[in-house]
Amino acid sequence: MNFLRGVMGGQPAGPQQSGAETIQKLCDRVASSTLLEDRRDAVRALKSLSKKYRLEVGTQAMGHLIHVLQTDSSDSEIIGYALDTLYNVISNDEEEEQDESEEENSQKEAEDLGSQLTDALINEQENITLILRLLEEFDFHVRWPGVKLITALLKKRCGPVQGIILVSPMGVSRLMDLLADSREIIRNDALLLLQQLTKGNAAIQKIVAFENAFERLLDIISEEGSSDGGIVVEDCLLLLLSLLKNNSSNQNFYKEGSYVQRMKPWFEVRDDNSGWSAQKVTNLHRMLQLVRVMVSPVNSPGAISSCQKAMHHCGLLQQLCAILMATGVPADILTETINTVSEVIRGSQDNQDYFASVNAPSNPPRPAIVVLLMSMVNERQPFVLRCAVLYCFQSFLYRNHKGQEEVVSTLLPSTIEASSITAGQLLCGGLFSSDSLSNWCAAVALSHALLDNPAQKEQLLRVQLATSAGTPPISLLQQCTNILSQGSKVQTRVGLLILLCSWISSCPIAVTHFLHNHQNVSYLTGQISENQGEDERLVQGLCALLLGICICYNDNSLENHTKEKLKQLIEKRIGKENFVEKLSFISKQEQYSRAAHQPQPTGPTPEHMLFDHQFTKLVKELEGVVTKSVYKSSEEERKEEEVKKTLEQHDSIMTQYKELIREQDAQINELKEQVVSLSSQSEQMKRTVAQQVLQIQQHRDQHSILKLKLEKGSQQAGGQGEEAQMNGLQREELSRLREELQELRGRSARLEAELADRNAIITSLNSERAQTVNGLENNAETLKELEALRSRVASQSTQISQLQAEKQDLLKTAAQSAKETVDPAGSDLQSLLTAQTQESERLKEEVRRLAESGAGAERQLASANSSVAVLEAERARLQEELTESRKEQDDLLMLLADQDQKITTLRNRLKALGEPIEDEDDLDSQDQGDDDDDEPDDD
């Protein structure tokens, strides 16, 4: 203990010991002491020396400290001292004041020493696992040093430590539990730890997100006062940015968890705004960055669209627009808000429409777009703010043809209102102002109003400008070329050339208007052929691109400036190789590469704003086309034109035939449906005839039984007068019934005749189809596409043949039934059946010929429609006949039942008179012979 007192500040007796010797003795004491108190005091002493003697403590005591963590985990005090000592030797927090040069060298040495000691500590993965396990201890003296130590290790060696924590059981979960600690200092340091832990590691980011990190962080932000909170809010926002940036899985999880809606209260601007503190500005800046991360153009289009919809529906976009129009907002917050709104509305039609409806709180109210454009063309506004407004205007017009049309319409004479300021007026004012940045921004903004919209390119040709009083107006195109030829600043000329290239590309009419002024071609060739300085190379390249566009999209309507003459002009005055070399200057510019990287226009200074993101795409698309067009000979171009025309004609013919095939296919489908309907009707009629035949057979059986009963009654009552009279009455009744039965048979014969008429109609239909086939066989047989149609017609014909076969079966069944019912009519029905069979064979032959043709679906459809109407009428008439027949049969059954009742009454009366009556079975057998004798009479 006396030794420790000397180390801790007492005056030891004897010679002064060096720091290394003292640390060695302390290490020996930690290793050899059996009492926990002695080891604790020795570790406390090492902690006090660890900042001054980092190297000695780190190299000599690290192993002993790890051993203490393993063996003395039950004593929180010694564990806390050990963790603090390890943190001190790894981190480079120097307390001593030093000169600047000495401080720089010392800082470098300290970082190298901390990295070496970190490598020594993490060399054994069990050390990190041990520290993570100690974090489960709730004691403040253990948990807080452990959090700081893990954070320091991540700062020194982020990747290796992340890998160890990732494979450690429950490693990430233990660290996430720190956010729930009730002690703010531990929770706040845990936020810093998680920032380092999630940096650049997508796997850990996903685990942290699924450990309910979003919910906890948003709760902390809300508890701390949102944007009015302190640095803890900023730390939470930085952690959210680390979890969401470039991580599509977490972004999707954040959106689906309805966390986007919880961001809306962050941007509420109160009327009683008492000022913006530096921390509030920082917090709101981070919040806007978080919104931009969710709708960044680098994300997938589907994810961007869904987030944009969510932000609009929950009112977040409305809150952002309110900040845009609010007063007293700091410039950097306003700039970042404009950039955020730009990406929230970019490519979303609903959001763009809403933004177009936003008005500034002025008198009279002005559209927000107009107010922003006023800032863009105002040279007194900050540079970054003007770039943000340009980005917002570009995003508003991105894939928004409606917005493009509205902007261009404000430039047309019929829509200009002198009492209001329009977007078109502001763009024209900026285009021709004395500020080169305003010229460039206005030209680029106007080019976006023409992007992928040929109709607006033609509309813009109608714009007329009044340059001065007493002079006639000139077109906007002519004014742009006039300013270009006056030799203004490079930035102004670059902006005008970007506008002209975007304007006349893919628009032959605009090319014609541009070439109509002979001075334009002279200016372009003069600029390209000159050998100017480095600053003019970009202008030369853009002039070459503009002249190349005039060649590519030239319709040869101007005799003096056809494609061939322009190429000859290039070859004589410039040279093809020199022209292509000047064209390649565009993509070699540093500003070109920067603009091609991201849609947002940025630059270190206003002079560096030379390229637009969409224009770099146009250059990439046209550079190869222009080069090929310049080198292409007139003969090759003529052949290509011929091939192009041939292809266009072929495409036109193919399109016509495809339309014809589609129509015929639709007609065939209708015919198929009609065939199916006819088949179902045929099946129904077949069933009806079968039922009728069965009913007729039943009536015949009933008639035979009734006749036998009547004859038996007549034989038994032959000798008596009253019975004879009654027998006479019965014979009269029987005769009447026979007549009715004969009439019923006649009706059946008429029904068969109706069926024959229906078959004749079908025959007429097929005859018309045969005539159609004969007329259509001479039509177009040149395209192979019709073969598919022919196969479908063949299938149709097969189905018609099946229908004919079914009709033949129906007729055979009807003929057989009629033959069984009425024997004398059998010969006529047989001849009818033979004629029908021959007719069916002829129909089959005609259908086979029909299968070999490919067209004629329209007339077939008309014929089929008429035949269906006739068949439907015939079917209705036959149905009525069948209904009447059933009614008559029912009446006959009733008459037969009455007759049977009369016979029963007569038998009862005979029994009452005492006449012997035989049993019914004997009477039936006895009268069988009589029935046979009477049958010829019946016939």
pLDDT value for 426: 94
Virtual CA dihedral for 82, 83, 88, 91, nearest 10 degrees? 150
Q: Check if the beta carbon of residue 546 is closer than 8 Å to that of residue 447.
A: no
Q: Check if the beta carbon of residue 864 is closer than 8 Å to that of residue 765.
A: yes
Angle at 739 between CA 738 and CA 742, to 5 degrees: 85
Angle at 25 between CA 22 and CA 31, to 5 degrees: 145
DSSP code per residue over 365-388: -EEHHHHHHHHHT-TTS-HHHHHH
Residue with tokens 């007493």: 470
**Helices (DSSP H) in 432-562: which residue ranges?**
436-448, 454-460, 476-485, 490-504, 508-516, 518-529, 537-552
pLDDT value for 724: 44
Helix (H, G, I), strand (E, B) or coil at 354: helix
Q: Check if the beta carbon of residue 548 is closer than 8 Å to that of residue 505.
A: no
**Burial class of residue 650 (count of CB atoms within 10 Å of its CB; 0-12, 13-18, 19+):** exposed
Q: Check if the beta carbon of residue 114 is closer than 8 Å to that of residue 91.
A: yes
Q: Check if the beta carbon of residue 290 is closer than 8 Å to that of residue 243.
A: no
- Distance between CA 441 and CA 377 in Å, rounded? 8
Backbone angles phi, psi at 431, to 5 degrees: -65, -30
The DSSP letter of residue 162 is H
Closest alpha carbon to 537 in 584, 585, 574 = 585
Q: Give the strand pairing for 474-475 and 464-465.
A: antiparallel
Q: Which tokens is 482 given?
A: 């006039």
Expressed in angstroms, the distance from the first to the final Cα of the chain is 147
Whole-structure pTM over 0.75, yes or no? no
- Distance between CA 776 and CA 41 in Å, rounded? 112
- Distance between CA 21 and CA 917 in Å, rounded? 151
Closest alpha carbon to 882 in 773, 716, 755 = 755
CB atoms < 10 A from the CB of 613, how many? 18
Closest alpha carbon to 828 in 773, 908, 748 = 748
Helix (H, G, I), strand (E, B) or coil at 507: coil
DSSP code per residue over 588-626: TSHHHHHHHH-SS---SSGGG----HHHHHHHHHHHHHH
- Distance between CA 617 and CA 603 in Å, rounded? 19
**Helices (DSSP H) in 50-157: which residue ranges?**
54-71, 76-90, 100-122, 125-134, 140-156
- Distance between CA 611 and CA 735 in Å, rounded? 113
577 Cβ neighbours under 8 A, 6+ residues apart: none
**Burial class of residue 849 (count of CB atoms within 10 Å of its CB; 0-12, 13-18, 19+):** middle
Q: Check if the beta carbon of residue 20 is closer than 8 Å to that of residue 53.
A: yes
Residue type, 170: M
- Distance between CA 582 and CA 526 in Å, rounded? 13
- Distance between CA 275 and CA 416 in Å, rounded? 41
pLDDT value for 870: 67
**For the chain, which ranges sit under pLDDT 50?**
1-16, 95-101, 415-416, 719-726, 729, 772-773, 775-786, 789-790, 793, 811, 814-815, 817-830, 832-833, 847, 854-855, 858, 920-939
Closest alpha carbon to 172 in 150, 155, 157 = 150
Angle at 724 between CA 722 and CA 729, to 5 degrees: 100
Q: Which tokens is 182 given?
A: 């009730």
